[in-house]
Amino acid sequence: MIGNRQTPPVHAPSRNGSRSQDPRDAILSVEQLTVSFDGLTVLDELDFSVGYGEMRFLIGPNGAGKTTLIDVITGKSKPSRGRVVFDGATDLSRRQEHHMVRLGVGRKFQTPSVYSSLTVHQNLEVMLGFRTRITGLLGRLRRSDDDRIMATLEEVGLQNRARDNAGGLSHGEKQWLEIGMLLVQEPKLLLLDEPVAGMTRRERDRTGELLQSIGGDRSILVVEHDMDFVRQFARTVTVLHLGKVLSEGNMEDVQQDPEVVRAYLGNSRTQRPQAARLNTRREPADPAPVAAD
Ligand SMILES: Nc1ncnc2c1ncn2[C@@H]1O[C@H](COP(=O)(O)OP(=O)(O)O)[C@@H](O)[C@H]1O
Ligand SMILES: [Mg+2]
């Protein structure tokens, strides 16, 4: 069926980012993207793409250019060269940051930014434009919008917290609420920067399951440092290094790529080689006793 994007197309990602893909097959196609700051090239003729319905993980040593890439995709930084083709047509690099929601691009920063004094439900109302954070209600919530909010809360597992103040949520719950705040705007592409940072193991596992369940007709690009998490939930991983794709494929292959190992070791000045970031994780303890879900 033409236009059916429920099923992710099968890509055959090759190592070293040499995959060539028709931009029409990709929700996101980054082409020859170059970004420099004060003469320092941060993204270097980068080619990179994400397929429809795909969940892609982006990893790489500190300073590789991951955040800069997300900044360019969302119109926050401008490239000196190249383009970012979104959904087969729009060049996102030429658009302003505030156009992104309407275009169908949702970005979540690392730190949760929910409105603590509003309820969980009201946080989603703000995203739909029915409520301002300061003055309260703007208009009447239609039944269909309330249904949409409740369906979103169910999707992120917060349906029982709808009337609770967001300020009282745990760190993990706040992250899920923020993902819900993006989802309620019905994005085609979600960009998530370190969604499991600071989470307990249980929260992290639930987040992985959540990301898998919200995939399908949405595409997700996840920047993540937590290699256990990536190993557990990623199908395709792209390794960025010095502003270029260093390696791409499944986590097992990527992890064994000597160039990837070298890139990580070269950046782990403060760690023993075996403990380089590619292999370790620090995690906060789960609170005890653990409440039933
Ligand atoms: N606004 C900026 N001005 C100058 N240098 C920047 C700016 N943003 C990022 N950089 C530099 O670009 C490089 C890549 O940074 P970044 O994209 O944040 O890497 P990553 O997210 O992979 O750790 C770093 O050397 C960083 O210092
Ligand atoms: Mg970063």
Write the pLDDT tens digit of every residue in 242-291. Answer: 999 999 999 989 988 998 888 887 654 444 443 345 655 555 665 544 33
How many Å lie between the centroid of ligand 2 and the Cα of residue 151?
32
Domain around 42: 24-111+189-200+221-275
Q: What does the angle CA 225 – CA 49 – CA 84 come to, to the nearest 5 degrees?
A: 105
Q: Compute, in angstroms, the gap from residue 139 CA to the centroid of ligand 2.
A: 38
Q: Between the CA of residue 72 and those of 26, 31, 66, 262, what are the distances in Å? A: 17, 12, 10, 27
Asked if the structure places residue 262 within a domain, the reply is yes
Predicted local confidence at residue 141, as pLDDT: 75
> Count of domains in the chain?
1
- The answer to the question of residue 59 being in a domain is yes
CA of 160 to the centre of ligand 2 (A): 34
User: Is 139 within the bounds of a domain?
Assistant: no
Residue 176 host element (H or E):
helix 171-183
- Residue 131 has a CB neighbour count (10 Å cut-off) of 21
On whether residue 19 sits in a domain, the answer given is no
pLDDT digits (tens, 9 = 90+) for 157-172: 999 999 999 999 999 9
Whether ligand 1 lies within 6 angstroms of the CB of 198 is answered as: no
Q: Is 181 close to ligand 1, i.e. is its CB under 6 Å away?
A: no
> How many Å lie between the centroid of ligand 2 and the Cα of residue 267?
14
259: domain CATH number?
A: 3.40.50.300
| Alpha carbon distances (Å) from 138 to 99, 144, 178 | 22, 17, 21
Q: What is the pTM (predicted TM-score) of this model?
A: 0.83
Q: Note the pLDDT tens digit of each residue in 89-138.
A: 888 988 888 788 888 999 988 777 899 999 999 999 988 886 655 555 66
Residue 267's pLDDT is what?
A: 55
Q: Is residue 2 assigned to a domain?
A: no
Whole-number percent of the chain with pLDDT over 70: 78
Question: Is the C-beta atom of 43 inside 6 A of ligand 1?
Answer: no
Residue 166 inside a domain? The answer is no
Strands annotated E in 15-98: 26-37, 40-51, 55-59, 81-86, 90-91
The closest-lying atom of ligand 1 relative to the alpha carbon of residue 240 is 22
Q: How far is the centre of ligand 1, averaged over its atoms, from the C-alpha of 171 (Å)? A: 27
Q: Is the Cβ atom of 61 under 6 angstroms away from ligand 1?
A: no
Choose which residue among 40, 42, 74, 78 to substitute to test ligand 1 binding: the one with the highest number of ligand atoms within 8 A of its C-beta.
42
